[in-house]
Structure 1
Amino acid sequence: MVDTPAPPETLHHYTTAAGLLGIVEPVRLGAFSERSPDMQSVPRTRSIALWATDARFLNDSAELRYAAPVLADKIEALLPPIDQVSDETTTRIGTVAARLRAGEFIGEGFEEGAMHTAYVTSFCRDGDLLSQWRGYGSSGGGYSVEFRTDALRELNFPFGQAGNDEVGYIGGSMLQQVVYGMDEEALDAAARELVHPDRYIPSMTAAVAVLARFKDPAFSEENEWRLIRAAGTYAMACRYRPSSTGAVVPYIQLHRFHWDKPHDAFAVASAIKSVTVGPGPDTAIRRDSVLQLMQQRGFRDVEVYTSAIPFRG
């Protein structure tokens, strides 16, 4: 994995009222919990759920494609000339580079023909950004949820094949800082890792995870951090939602359970540190309702603020 700076102690996630409700809704694990006694014992109080959206459907139309040609060039620069290639692994990696340059994120080897993508949850360092609130103006103001990053690293990803109801969860969430522009050093490091003979992650999976870190400098004000999970589209047990433009958007749900102290959830700090009510109408009553929501969902140590920005929305 390409090196990234250590995240700050907390990060902020901007969302709508519906998104806030989904984050703190008591976890219901459905049929899977009925088959697994361990899952039945997971406490629903103070557990959280976040969505990770297929990056192809985010607001940056160049997602995944922005740095793909440059990464392809750097991979090919590390490979021997084509007329000297005899090693099957080298040939396969060269194919990956060609597909990256063409913007075709199709797997290789046992994943041949499978489209790959990255599922992304976004966070900002700043919990009261005008640029973010503008995006929620038409929905009544929005909310900024401040998470402790140690809790974000405990989020569990769904594990199971698409269309398969028998979904479990695996750990290993990794926070990555977004790179704005073509960071040559970071891309060089990524290319070296992708061609390393001891690498065990399929090449396209690893490449897409790298590409999800790079964005056009026009988005740099967001100072974004991301939870990124890359995989072949056939391998993720996705959910789907409609977008405002009529698209059907794939996403996965990430959960944090209290495995460590299942019978005493309040012995550990809440994953959520604070919620900021975005600018717009009725901020005082909206703050009161969020405070009530947090209290009743068990997040009693969460502070609730209102935005300091005088924006009508």
Structure 2
Amino acid sequence: MGLFYHYCVPSTFHSIVSGRSLWLSSLSMSNDSMEGKLVSNIVSTLAKDDKVEAKVLEEIKTIVGFYEYVADGFGICLSVEGDLLSQWRGYAGDATGFSIGFNGLYLAQLAEQQKDANIVVQRVIYDKQQQVDLVKPLYETIKKRVESGPLGEQDETSAEATESFGQALAYEEKLNKARVNLIQRFGPTIPPSLFAMKSSAFAEEKEWRVISLGVALGNCSFRVSGNKIVPYRSLALDDLTQPAIVKVILGPKNPTPKRVVERFLENNGFKDVRVEQSTLTYR
């Protein structure tokens, strides 16, 4: 594995190096408005193509919505391109920040060390057909369970047949428990790729992610990002047989002297890191 670059503003660069850790943030709260919605959209499209009954479609969408509510992928975004103008502009303070080159072999070792915490290194999928192929098994599982009526034994005791408000509430509670049980059963089989799908409009970024799967909000920390509170999980950059950071690129508009960055890295235990200035001209 080669290098994977994380573009960031100076304050984030300082935090990663001085804290010797990565912050894996909620992917559903990223700047991409479609993040976290692709699965729902693909499931809806598959259901419509199958011409499933309206009530089945609504139940499928409800279950997917339940899953998106109780489960999330936490991650940090990386790129195989270390000096890309769109990345500098979008993620590194309009080119005033840094591009941190992480050693792919180190990230693989870190993921193996943290496998009990469901840490994976995952390539982002941009191709629409590949996305459909990934989501389809999940859709088929949910559809089969809904159509076979396991979510509440929908017979004469269904919500439509209840005779009182109390019976309707009892039925809905039973149905919700069945939905949660279904999510708990298929949740562990969800591939990490479902947390690494983006629109083809972002393909230039050639993104990879370090992802932590199934993080409960009770087991994470919170930070401020812009005008919102974002949950995150801290992942320590422990010393392993491979070096963690091997290269740092200063953005086209970053005025920090390279010698300062080199000393900062050394003072925090990151030795022999190549520090370079971006080759791009951008004002």
| Partner of residue 242 from structure 1, selected from 214, 224, 227 | 224
For 1:31-46, list aligned pairs within 5 A: none
Higher relative contact order (CA 8 A, sep 6+): 2
2:252 equivalent in structure 1: 279
1:294, distance to aligned residue in structure 2 (A): 1.3
How far apart, in 1, do the equivalents of 2:136 and 2:186 lie? 10
Structure 2: which amino acid aligns with 1:106?
Y
Are 2:196 and 1:203 equivalent residues in the alignment?
Answer: no
Q: Cα deviation per residue 1:159-210 (whole Å; 9 max; x = unaligned)?
A: 9xxxxxxxxx9455211111114224x53355337849xxx97424654844
1:214 equivalent in structure 2: 197
1:72, distance to aligned residue in structure 2 (A): 5.6
* CA pair 156-95 structure 1, distance change in 2 beyond 3 A: farther
Are 2:25 and 1:61 equivalent residues in the alignment?
Answer: no
How far apart, in 1, do the equivalents of 2:47 and 2:100 lie? 39
1:215, distance to aligned residue in structure 2 (A): 1.0
2:207 equivalent in structure 1: 224
User: What stretches of structure 1 of length at least 5 have no aligned partner?
Assistant: 1-7, 27-47, 83-90, 108-113, 160-168, 261-267
| Partner of residue 16 from structure 1, selected from 9, 16, 24 | 9
Structure 2: which amino acid aligns with 1:280?
K
Are 2:91 and 1:98 equivalent residues in the alignment?
Answer: no
Task: Report the TM-score when normalising by structure 2.
Answer: 0.71
Q: Is the 8 A contact 1:270 1:302 kept in 2?
A: no
1:251, distance to aligned residue in structure 2 (A): 1.0
Are 2:74 and 1:119 equivalent residues in the alignment?
Answer: yes
How far apart, in 1, do the equivalents of 2:33 and 2:63 lie? 16
Q: Is the 8 A contact 1:55 1:118 kept in 2?
A: yes
Structure 2: which amino acid aligns with 1:127?
G
Richer in helix (by share): 2
Structure 1: which amino acid aligns with 2:28?
R
Q: Is the 8 A contact 1:116 1:208 kept in 2?
A: no
For 1:45-84, list aligned pairs within 5 A: 48-71=20-43
1:34 equivalent in structure 2: none
1:265 equivalent in structure 2: none
2:234 equivalent in structure 1: 253
1:116, distance to aligned residue in structure 2 (A): 1.8
Q: Cα deviation per residue 1:87-140 (whole Å; 9 max; x = unaligned)?
A: xxxx9xx99843366xx2437xxxxxx622211211101100100111256466
Q: Is the 8 A contact 2:76 2:209 kept in 1?
A: yes
2:96 equivalent in structure 1: 141
Identity across matched positions, percent: 26
1:68, distance to aligned residue in structure 2 (A): 2.3
2:136 equivalent in structure 1: 191
How far apart, in 1, do the equivalents of 2:49 and 2:223 lie? 41
Q: Is the 8 A contact 2:43 2:136 kept in 1?
A: yes
SS in 2 for 1:63: coil
Q: CA RMSD in A?
A: 3.6
How far apart, in 1, do the equivalents of 2:30 and 2:43 lie? 21
How far apart, in 1, do the equivalents of 2:26 and 2:200 lie? 21
How far apart, in 2, do the equivalents of 1:135 and 1:100 lie? 34
* CA pair 59-189 structure 1, distance change in 2 beyond 3 A: closer
How far apart, in 2, do the equivalents of 1:187 and 1:57 lie? 22
SS in 2 for 1:23: helix
Q: Number of matched residues?
A: 240
